[in-house]
A and B are shown apart, each in its own frame.
Chain A
Amino acid sequence: QKEVEQNSGPLSVPEGAIASLNCTYSDRGSQSFFWYRQYSGKSPELIMSIYSNGDKEDGRFTAQLNKASQYVSLLIRDSQPSDSATYLCAGANTGNQFYFGTGTSLTVIP
């Protein structure tokens, strides 16, 4: 079983809509979670981190963590074509290893 599971998509949303990206994790002891964005041909870059249950907002991005359900999500409000990328969910497990999901490809349609 993979440490972190994501729906690979592709996910398409119209410009201005809310994009919802989801991720589940297997290690109940994992404490920290991250969302990275990777543009085609580029390296991943961190966009959000979340450590506590609940929501964390940063501009148009909101990360949500539910430890009871072992579920992490990322909401992108007012989606822009420049948000089109692959979004990688990552977490650190109890073995202090940092694992990435396979990523969800998002396309924002103008």
Chain B
Amino acid sequence: KAGVTQTPRYLIKTRGQQVTLSCSPISGHRSVSWYQQTPGQGLQFLFEYFSETQRNKGNFPGRFSGRQFSNSRSEMNVSTLELGDSALYLCASSLSLAEAGELFFGEGSRLTVL
């Protein structure tokens, strides 16, 4: 059974650019959550999608957005990149709603903003 797949694994952008990250959940999983991980702040919740609907959103500015497609694949977008957006972005999928189920994480997309 394939795990959670995130692409790209590494990317470098400059300030002001925008980036789109992709996440393919485990087959059959309908919930996809996104997290930002930095050394100082740990894992911070960005948002969760379930059946193409955003269920929850963390405390991030509107520059961070996401969506989920009918096949449960999800994308997140960050516009007008800032230096502070440099982080590891982790996607996690779960069979049911995230708070009730086990989260399976992808390898992450490491974003560097110069």
Contact = CB atoms under 8 A, between A and B. Distances in A.
Contacts of A45: 105
Contacts of B55: 96
Nearest to B39: A102
B100 A101 contact: no
Contact of A99 (B45, B90, B107): B45
Interface in B1-45: 33, 35, 41-45
Nearest to A88: B43
The bracket for how many chain B residues form the interface is 20 to 34
Contacts, number: 53
A101 B58 CA distance: 15
Nearest to B102: A46
Contacts of A46: 102-104
Contacts of B108: 43
A92 B31 CA distance: 15
Interface of A: 32, 34, 36, 42-46, 49, 88, 92, 95-103
7 contacts: A44-B90, A44-B105, A46-B103, A88-B42, A96-B56, A97-B56, A97-B99
